[in-house]
Chains A and B, each alone.
Chain A
């Protein structure tokens, strides 16, 4: 299983763009990269998923360089409600495991 490494915590201010980078040096050819968000006492919520290059949806963008050894989740203009833990996961589509690391605790300050 490809192991992921993320910063333990990050601080930002309202209205700023936040970029969280995840390292996954041992990613396999058939692995996807997925990001989840979790608020206290709730289950994780899917944010975005990608395989290569750039993926964008209504809440975030995911940048994946050509070597796929890292990925960056970009949250545009964060608000206080974006304060949460963000998890980066790497898993094959037919994989039999789904490994959450400790995640990145994002604190958005007013």
Chain B
């Protein structure tokens, strides 16, 4: 079975631009979470979606938004990019909502903002 897939793998954007990152969960998984990982730090939780509804939100500004589609795939949008948004963006899927279920992480999208 395919694991969590993310696209694109790498992305370079300019300050002020907008970016959309995509994630396809493992087949049968209903929950998708997004994380930001800055070099040298642990992943920071951004959002969790379950059955197309937002179920959790980390401490990120409103420039960050996400959605989940009927097929359980998800998009993360970041508007008005700042240099500090440069990071590895990770998507994780799990069978159900909540963190008692094992999270399966994708390889991430490396975003560079110049």
Q: Give A contacts to B, CB under 8 Å.
A: 32, 34, 36, 41-46, 49, 85, 87, 89, 91-103
Contacts and interface: CB of A to CB of B under 8 A. Distances in A.
A98 B107 contact: no
B55 interface: yes
A34 B98 CA distance: 13
A96 B106 contact: no
Interface residues of B, number: 27
B100 A96 contact: no
Interface string B45-62: 100100000011110000
Nearest to B3: A43
Grouping DSSP codes into helix (H, G, I), strand (E, B) and loop, the A interface class, with mixed when no group exceeds half, is loop
A4 to B, nearest CB: 10
Given A97-B45, A102-B42, A43 B92 contact: yes
B98 A94 contact: yes
Contacts of A101: 42
A97 B47 CA distance: 8
